[in-house]
Structure 1
């Protein structure tokens, strides 16, 4: 089989244009999903089972069903309801493939992040929380000054993996005619009959994006957890005078 390198070089700008859409999908759904995941995690940690039940069912559904099914349910399924088509959200949001993809990715990743954050909060040393109680911190102060900062320090490495999974899952956006990296590769390969070349190039673009994401999270993790690597000076060796 002859390998057509020229078609790769000719269409790199198109693939990079698709990468812009891919990055938008990942960033928007990742940021919004982190917020909803935090809310869901806090609700799951409630001692009231009536508060826990809805977040539990939400997480169970979105973790237990394929992302592709969720995309189709939102993009194709919501339009089956007349009340949705007549709502003010239909034209600007729910009829647009772009926003439906973001909604699906957000709902999906927030379910995973909720369990990640919940586990991180439960792994915070009890002594730190007891110390906060001992000095008279309110529940809000303890949450914002102790619980969340410590939890996010624990979450960052795992969250980076979730963002990578989201990046790879974003390829499913092409199934609803969005021209992300995979959508661009599929369209051009169908026109030029160079499937291997275009999807090889698309894979390289995904690899580069994954490296950028992992590197960025590594730097952010070092900054967030810099206190963990701090070694106080050994004052016992100091002399007075």
Structure 2
């Protein structure tokens, strides 16, 4: 009696894509584990080295610095948003002079560090004190806080202008043509049809810009503005305790995370009609 041999096909080798996904997952878990260990180590260090006397002495300074950071950031973001409107319109204008001026402004402020811009305004304009005093503006430029706000406003306005310009130009031309076919005025077309769609496109870049400004605001400490970083440097100069910078990092991390989740909720709310 003969038995037929059953031939079992060999298992095919896993495709390269599956291997890449597996490697990526393993690497991701390893990174998460490393971050968890690092976070637990920092938490243990903060708890073990907790000093109530230092908290009582410098805690109010951190709160004052945090308030200064938030005022500078959101003040510059608001003023920059107002300034970015004419700059964005000039960037889209057919007038070559307006286009060239706005392009030069955006190019300079996006291509140079914000720290350099603060130095040029706070220290550089001090060389023209007589001229500035003659027009009655020395009271503004002699204060480091105002100079920092001014520099941050000019910086973020350049970025916001490009965000707004790109968002407006991303709206399909058919929207404008459809409004014209209905006989709608140009102003109504822009503010009621084009602008709302453009702002939805610009939501995420605007959120990124606000986060960038919060983190970038730390450079104002070098011109004697006692923001969060400035107060941290003061506390460190008195205690030489590394923990002072850890607390500053925790504050910045908390601000960024709170803003990120808040902005995500706003974006989800305003774009809910696109997910239906």
Q: TM-score with structure 2 length normalisation?
A: 0.78
> What's 1:217 paired with?
263
1:205-228 C-alpha deviation (Å, 9 max, x unpaired):
001111121122122222322332
- 1:175-205 per-residue CA deviation (whole Å, 9 max, x = no partner) reads 11111110000001001111x2111100000
Describe how 1:131-142 pairs up with structure 2 within 5 A: 131-142=178-189
1:84 to 103, 108, 132: 132
> Residues 168-187 of structure 1: matches in 2 within 5 Å?
168-187=215-234
Q: Which segment drifts farther, 143-152 or 161-170? A: 143-152
Aligned residues: 228
Listed one character per residue, the Cα deviations across residues 145-181 of structure 1 (whole Å, up to 9, x for unaligned) are 1121111111111111111110111001101111111
| CA–CA separation in structure 1 for the residues paired with 2:87 and 2:270 | 23
Moved over 6 A (4+): none
Match of 2:81, SS state, is helix
Query: Which residue does the alignment assign to 1:236?
Result: none
Residue in 2 that maps onto 1:37: 84
Match runs of 1:89-238 below 5 Å: 89-91=137-139, 93-194=140-241, 196-229=242-275, 231=276
2:244 counterpart SS class: helix
Which structure is larger by alpha-carbon Rg, 1 or 2? 2
Distance 2:59 2:80 in 1: 31
Distance 1:217 1:50, change over 3 A: same
Matched residues in 2 for 1:222 and 1:130: separation? Answer: 29
Q: Give, in angstroms, the shift of residue 8 of structure 1.
A: 6.2
Would the aligned equivalents of 1:8 and 1:201 in 2 still touch at CA under 8 Å?
A: no
SS at 2:171 equivalent? coil
Query: Using the alignment, how far apart are the partners of 1:216 and 1:79 within structure 2?
Result: 40
Q: Which residue is 2:15 aligned to? A: none
**Residue matched to 1:62:** 109
Deviation at residue 13 of structure 1 after TM alignment: 3.0
2-structure distance, mates of 1:62, 1:223: 33
Listed as ranges, the gaps of 5+ residues in structure 1 are: 232-241
Are the structure 2 counterparts of residues 8 and 56 from structure 1 closer, same or farther at C-alpha, using a change threshold of 3 Å?
A: farther
> Once superposed, what is the RMSD of the aligned Cα atoms?
1.8
Distance 1:8 1:39, change over 3 A: farther
